[in-house]
Structure 1
């Protein structure tokens, strides 16, 4: 029954009820255990069908096809283990014996004993280390025994009670599942009292037609149910209740198997979440690495553009120098001052674009032309303050003894290189103010 029910996405109890409605005999409890011990069993034949409406069987269960394979496998294996363990007990009648209640239920017992029934007659208990319960005072003892049996059977599958801030949960090594016990209310039509009828008549005089009393009254029914508070809308069963002929105690193996399924689904969802987070982090790392690479390439190109701009200027200056550097008739060149400046400017450009100065300028701007290790790419994701906006070429004053290079300005470098006189001496002829314009004819 368990194996066939899993194929249709229903519980063995639901399949049993379906078989009963369609007059299909099923093995009695303990059938397989007796058969395995060579004890006599009763095998009922399929009866003749007289009602043609029962000719076809429709099973509308929540399909488990969309569930992960690990969840289906965990539930099937748990059901096989639990049914094997419970069938000998069912055959010997040991399941009716009283179970010792574990000490961890003490907080739940105290909370239930102190609680007062509400208007509908239910006791509500919840809090730290307390099983969430909503029961009537008449079912308190049965609730304690049901919890004790549940804990004993759950321990066979590795689930033990665990205290949490919101209640008492069943937990394995890596998952924790909240649950509760509720008593199904009995719904009966409300009989209005004389005061309610008078209030209705008063309301009618003011144009209010709605009846001032509830449509139904709710009271304890004695029908207990176990509810698992996990994996909503997952397709897994979350509630097991007393039926007309079967109590929830007889469903404990199926409940524990459902608990195992919920635990497997929680693990699978956590694994999927961790995998999704891992992929997200990898994608984020790739994005940052690409952004850092693009930023480095942009700054490198900016540095190369600055060098190229200086080389273009040198080419322009060289062309002008070749044009002006012509021997005069009297041996004097009127553009000698211009030629001197062009030569000095070319020397500055040669120094500025020399390999030594370029290396110092690049290192000063923290500009590397070798790709850094992969792990260090995430340190820079682009920003206003990580690096200067654009690297620039600089002049340097190098102290060979101290092995120290200090950035300096063009004027200071030219003076240090001997291209210009120092400020202490008299200015050179080509450094004076503009010459007077030639006389007009």
Structure 2
């Protein structure tokens, strides 16, 4: 029935370190330490130190096989009455139980906005005269008029069939989630009517959701429900169960075939806020010996304000994390874009450097050939002519004008852009950057147009190579 079955009084065992939500503290102690603590002071005081309830601490001790004082132990001890002797801490074969993790939350660990929101609501409600809304004890047929928005809830819970324990349940869109005994229906709906009126003074209005009926403000909704605490009594085995036990014993099974306890309606109602699990905020408001749910309505409204403030704080924190993530992602993209630009720039400079190295090598060879021809006939004229032509090509390829045109053709910018947002990868198809290279160019000064041409075409236009195959053949015959 409940959208959030986890009770805020429970502890988390085995949760990774650092994973506790906002407002939660994780304490780790040994079994021996916790054993000494629960036998040195009342369970309520020890639990308060860890930011959990005494019930939650008792469950934790039971899981780790730590014996605890019986109910009333400290009261009897205070009045000098005889109490059960302190048992020894049993040894365990499972070493995983040696360390006890207690996830609790102390009020001072909650954000300041949360504590402030609850305090302000309590002060405002304390200054108002609200005896009929918050202080009166509801009974069937008493109180004001039931709001129409609760009709669906009354209809659903009235038509429900009791389960084996005697509880009826209701759930669905526009219906307050409930699990109560049939005779508790009128009493459960009356404090809800008063809660709606009281919550309305703080800006909370009933709002239909897909899974229930929430109390909502302009910016958020808080789900809640009503439950009846079950009465737990030791199970009295029936004759059939006793007979089944005897049959099991003959087969070697000593486990009793009946539950340890029976559960039944107790008449103790609880209003439960289904939000902010494991936050440390109070989520359950139950009837007790000294106070009824009806008398807790102002405190419930203050609790709503605290839960709303924590939801806003968590949403703000989530938005801040998202903003930081976006900034980190944008920074990563800028760094990647910068690295990519630097890589292509270096590739372009390497291309120029390779040409200059080749020119230096050609010049050294040419100087060697010409120095050898000073004293005799130069038998390597054609080689020297080719080297000179090649040097001319390299000089043209690496001249500032051609270098600038080659860089612009590759969309290679040596000035950092103001922004890398929406900047596509330059000089590429389908977003893959091409390797920048040096090129030969035909420049039309009148049209202010530069066209990339091949090395052979440039050499022909420069008069360093024949323009056609026939001219090449004529030169060969002449030679």
**How high is the TM-score relative to the length of structure 1?**
0.77
Partner of 1:14: none
1:92 CA drift (Å) = 10
Bigger shift: residues 396-405 or 152-161: 396-405
Stretch of structure 1 that moved more, 345-354 or 325-334: 325-334
Q: Cα deviation per residue 1:97-126 (whole Å; 9 max; x = unaligned)?
A: 623222222221221122111111101111
Inter-partner Cα distance in structure 1 for 2:314 and 2:119:
19
For 1:124, the equivalent position in structure 2 comes to 169
Q: Answer whether contact 2:425 2:432 (CA < 8 A) is retained.
A: no
8 Å CA contact retained: 2:269, 2:286: yes
The aligned counterpart of 1:134 is 179
Report how many aligned residue pairs link the two structures: 377
Question: Which string of whole-angstrom CA distances, capped at 9 and with x for unpartnered residues, describes residues 263-319 of structure 1?
Answer: 101111111111112112212211221121122112111111111121222223233
Cα deviations by residue, 1:65-95 (Å, 9 ceiling, x for unpaired) = 1111111111111111112224565899799
- Cα distance in 2 for partners of 1:384, 1:202 equals 81
Q: Cα 1:318–1:428, aligned 2, differ >3 Å: closer, same or farther? A: farther
> What does 1:202-213 align with in structure 2 at a 5 Å threshold?
202-213=247-258
Seen in structure 2, the aligned counterparts of structure 1 residues 349 and 263 have a Cα distance that, compared at 3 Å, is same
Question: 2:110 aligned to 64, 67, 73, which one?
Answer: 67
Instruction: State the match for 2:50 in structure 1.
Output: none
Match of 2:264 in 1: 219
Q: C-alpha separation between the residues in 2 aligned to 1:420 and 1:91?
A: 105
Instruction: Output the TM-score relative to the length of structure 2.
Output: 0.71
CA contact (8 A) 2:134 2:297 kept: no
Change (3 A) 1:172 1:128: same
Question: Are 2:462 and 1:417 aligned?
Answer: yes
Structure 1 residues 273 and 108: alpha-carbon distance in aligned structure 2, compared to 1, 3 A threshold: same
Q: Show the counterpart of 2:125.
A: 82
1:288–1:378 contact (8 Å) kept in structure 2:
no
Q: Give the root-mean-square deviation of aligned CA atoms.
A: 3.2
Relative contact order, CA 8 A, sep 6+: which one is greater?
Answer: 2
Which 5+ residue runs of structure 1 have no aligned equivalent? 1-17, 19-50, 55-60, 436-441
Structure 2 SS opposite 1:127: coil
What residue ranges of structure 2 are gaps of 5+ in the alignment? Answer: 1-43, 45-75, 80-103
**3-state SS of the aligned residue for 2:163?**
coil
1:293 — aligned with what?
338
CA offset at residue 403 of structure 1? 4.7
Do the aligned residues in 2 keep the contact of 1:288 with 1:380 (CA within 8 Å)?
Answer: no
User: Structure 1 residue aligned with 2:299, among 243, 254, 273?
Assistant: 254
The question of 1:313 aligning with 2:366 is answered no
Higher mean Cα deviation, 167-176 or 417-426? 417-426
Distance 1:225 1:195 in 2: 36
- Rate the CA distance shift 1:108–1:146 in 2: closer, same or farther, 3 A: same
What is the CA deviation profile of residues 354-410 of structure 1, one whole-angstrom value per residue up to 9, with x for unaligned ones? 2222222212222111111224377569x9963435311122234556554333321
Q: What CA distance in whole angstroms lies between the structure 2 residues aligned with 1:241 and 1:99? A: 22
Partners of 2:424 and 2:431 within 8 A in 1: no
Query: Which stretch shifts more, 313-322 or 91-100?
Result: 91-100
